[in-house]
Amino acid sequence: MIFTGNTKLRAIFTFGSVQVVTREAFAIPKLEFSIRVQPQNLLIVPENGKIPMESSSWGEFHNGVAAGLRISPSADGVESSWIKFNKPSELTPEHAGFLFALGLTGHLREMLTWHTFAYLTPKHDLTSIAVLLGLSAANAGTSNRHVTKLLAVHTPALLPTPSIDLNVPLVTQASGIMGVGLLYMGTRNRRMAEVCLSQISRKDLVQQDLSNEYREAYTLCAALAFGMVMLGKGSHTPADLVILSRLRVLVHGEGHSLTGVKPARPSFDINLTSPAATMALGLMYLRTERQDVADILSIPDTTLALDRIQPNFLLLRTLGRALILWDDITPTTEWLSAQVPLSIAEAMEKKLTGKSVHESFELAYYNIVSGCCFAIALKYAGTAREEAYALIIRYYDQFSQMTYGSGPQFDHRIKRAAIRDGLNLISIALNMVMAGTGEINCLRRLRYSYGMLNQLFRYGTYGAIHISLGLLFLGGGRYTLGTSDAAIACMVTAFFPRFAQVSSDNKSYLQALRHLWVLAIEPRCLITRDVDTKEVVYLPVKIKVKDSKDVGTTQLIAPTLIPDIDKLLSIRVDTPRYWPFYLDIANLPHHKESLIRSQTLFVKRRTAFLSYMEDPKGSRSLFVRSGSSTADAATLDFPRLKHADTHPATDLHHFISSHSNDVLFLAFADRFCRNEGQTDEEKLFHAYCHATLLDSILQDKSRTMQSHLTLYRYRKMSIHSPYFGLAQQDLRFAAEFYGKIFERRFSGRSENNPRPPLIRESTLHAALHELDQKLEVLRSRPSFRPMLREYARGSGVPEFEHDSALQKVSHALAWYLQRNSVPVSTLLVVLKALAVSSHGRCLKAPPPHGTTDVPVLDEAIKAVLHATGTQLMTSIGSGWSVRSVEEILETWHMEEDAQAISE
């Protein structure tokens, strides 16, 4: 026996690690059989011919599969010509495994037909197995006609005359019939289902001889192929009822036929057909919740009945029942105990008290429990569900304690072998649940099992340990197992509880099927990358998941495995160190497609913070180290001086370089954030620059520093500057935009992905308020109201002498009209005439067309004037201010009073 289990581990662990394929020949590492003995440092090399050719061939086949599975399914450049280029002059087992790996990853579908025949013509057994299974896996569920023809050439059952002798080994025929199941998976093709069903009870395999030593493997392949074709499609139609009746006979024997007439000579071997038909029945009625079908796979509960059935058949019946009654599976002790018949459970309770029980009960219990653990693993594969993990690991520990005991009696060895097989399956089941997580407790147990050197351990035991190790670190932690119907069928096939005695053993199970786990995996490792450096970063993310009718939110640390994409609702990045990000998978299809395509979130770190790897506790952030506080943000709204001892700007420039390499930030801190001002105005400017720099860094918006400096210039601008009106207009536009338009159209709240404004609305309003205060000084001058009255009556504003007091008042009037969106003078004259006319008519007319309440009438006319004047103006924002309307009305009243006095 040679040990090749590590190739299975390597295949699972390194899956998809090569993203780019070069034009050079793909290197397949050679198997090393030499042994170095320590501490003597002796190198022992096996003699030529000592290793059986059959054993080394399958070892090299698995080695080729492990090498080929390193190529990612999404890798480019794997074309028919490249595959042909890698073909050796003579076909080898390694290259056969390489071809099979390319088929499992979907690359073999690119191979042209004549290249395929070049591989099949030499009739190299391992190459034929690899090409047939690989092409079927690459085209799984497509019913491809060209692949069907290739399978028919190597599968007599698909020919019009199945009895014809094609001179094809039975193990190759087994791979061909298995290829039919993969190619027609879930299609419910009646023709293919009938072919596979008929091969379960193939007549020439009843009696064992040298020509059909692989009859058990062939029967199992036919049953699994049938189950894949009819995967979850079992129904109440007459055709399905006929199939159900035939499967019942294959499970229990011809004594259970509906006719009740037992033939004189059995037409099939129930020891071959019963386990195979059990799995076929379970896959056909997967998730159908058919209790009547599940009852066909009932567990015997008497000693006499248990003695008539092989104990390992009970494992498969338990598994088959669980597949049918899928929704009933729960990771609880109550569910598992319910699967054990009462008589068996009572016998095991007696055994715990020290009483002796019949070994049939013990063997049945061990197989039923291991079958239940495998069923739980199938339902919760790749979920890392805590309840499933805790339940399976508890039984793993129990079986481990019993396995490593010793007993010289023959019956003890039988029970220990059954426990060992159960432990192998439970080990795989445990790591199916924790696939891709690298969970430390699982790893510790597998390390212990790996180090147990015992001559009673078979090759299959070490193979199961290595498969478990590989699943625990599936694809280097980037992949996990799915739970779709196709994934369940492939996992049942790949982890089927038939563990070989030696590396060349294919009699009861075709070894190539161990690699079908590839069709059950899903890339569900969520990776967060910095959008600037493209490096992987650690980041807390909130994930919302829908499980059945319940919706829950959990927080994980990326990179991490995420739940099934179909159960995922949203992913949110909500942390102070990174800009917020929201992925709405449930409602936005392009978000879901992007996640499936790359499983990557690009995030942007805020400049003021370090990553979680560099600063786990957040104590080195710029916000903390610079001594800044919320008062710094208020400085942007209301610039003021602070005491020099408490001003954090004295050392701010020392911290900038450790958080940002932006030249603009560094230069700004060096030139404007030093406390070197001589006058109060210079010190105030430095304080404002400090607050500006800190805000720009925290918001990670370096370009806003120029905007803040512009706002500061507007604040300090003289009211006599010719640009004062332009500054006032800019500020008003920005304030109105952020106050009324940004929140509704650009804030991202409607998309559940809020975005902060470039400049705070409070900062803009504060700057505008400061300009309004300057304008208020001019409005309070005695000469302002007469000039406003002249404008309101339509007289216009005459030109005054340059730099005179009246010219300054006229400038103030222009800024006043612009700031308050006052209509032009000609419109004011029209509005005044309409207002006076309406006022007079309403006072004269009786109710309801008029009124005698003068105050109410004045308020109504003022509201109409405000609305009409606002609509007549084309300016942006809130329109004609209410205060200005009142001031214009006041000037009109003053004019009327003056006219009345003059009259």
> 326-354: per-residue pLDDT in tens?
999 999 999 999 999 999 999 999 888 88
Select from 756, 767, 765 the least CA-distant residue to 877. Answer: 765
Residue type for position 542: K
AA letter at 134? G
Q: Which of 775, 870, 882 is nearest to 823 (CA)?
A: 870
Give the tens place of pLDDT for each residue, 658-704: 556 667 777 777 777 776 667 878 888 888 887 887 777 777 777 78
C-alpha 125/C-alpha 120 separation (Å) is: 9
257 pLDDT band, cuts 50/70/90, is very low
Look up the pTM and report it: 0.77
Query: For residue 584, what are the β-bridge partners?
Result: 570
Which three-class secondary structure state does DSSP give residue 100?
helix
Q: Are 283 and 181 in contact (CB under 8 A)?
A: no
Collapsed DSSP state (helix, strand, coil) of residue 522 = strand
371 C-beta neighbours (distance < 10 Å), count: 28
Q: Are 121 and 128 in contact (CB under 8 A)?
A: no
CA–CA distances in Å: residue 777 to residues 780, 802, 811: 5, 21, 13
Instruction: State residue 893's pLDDT score.
Output: 72
What's the whole-number mean pLDDT along residues 274-279? 95
- Arithmetic mean of pLDDT, 696-716: 81
Q: Is the pLDDT of residue 202 over 80?
A: yes
Name the one residue in this structure whose structure tokens are 């690119």.
Answer: 110
- Reported as type and span, the H/E element at residue 855 is helix 854-872
CA distance 126 to 171: 9
What percent of the chain stands above pLDDT 90? 38
pLDDT surpassing 60 at residue 3? no
How does the average pLDDT of the chain come out, rounded?
84
pLDDT at residue 899, rounded to an integer: 56
pLDDT at 630: 46
Residue pair 615/609 in contact by the 8 Å Cβ criterion: yes
Lowest mean pLDDT among 62-76, 255-269, 604-618: 255-269
What are the backbone dihedrals phi and psi of residue 623, each rounded to the nearest 5 degrees, phi first? -65, -35
Whose CA is closest to 789, among 891, 663, 656?
A: 891
State the pLDDT at residue 465.
93
Amino acid at 619: S
| Digit-coded pLDDT (tens) for 545-567 | 887 778 888 888 888 888 888 88
DSSP 8-class letter at 899: H
pLDDT digits (tens, 9 = 90+) for 812-835: 788 788 778 888 888 888 888 888
Closest CA to 415 of 277, 178, 407, 621: 407
CA distance 126 to 246: 33
Residue range 588-603, pLDDT digits in tens: 888 888 888 888 999 9
CA distance 201 to 253: 11
* Residues facing 541 on adjacent strands: 556
Sorted by sequence, the CB contacts under 8 Å of residue 521 that are 6+ apart come out as 15, 474, 475, 479, 480, 481, 482, 487
Pairing of strands 480-481, 521-522: antiparallel
Tell me: pLDDT of 143 over 80.
yes
C-alpha 901/C-alpha 903 separation (Å) is 5
pLDDT of 842 higher than 80: yes
pLDDT in tens, 474-514: 999 999 999 999 999 999 999 999 998 888 889 999 999 99
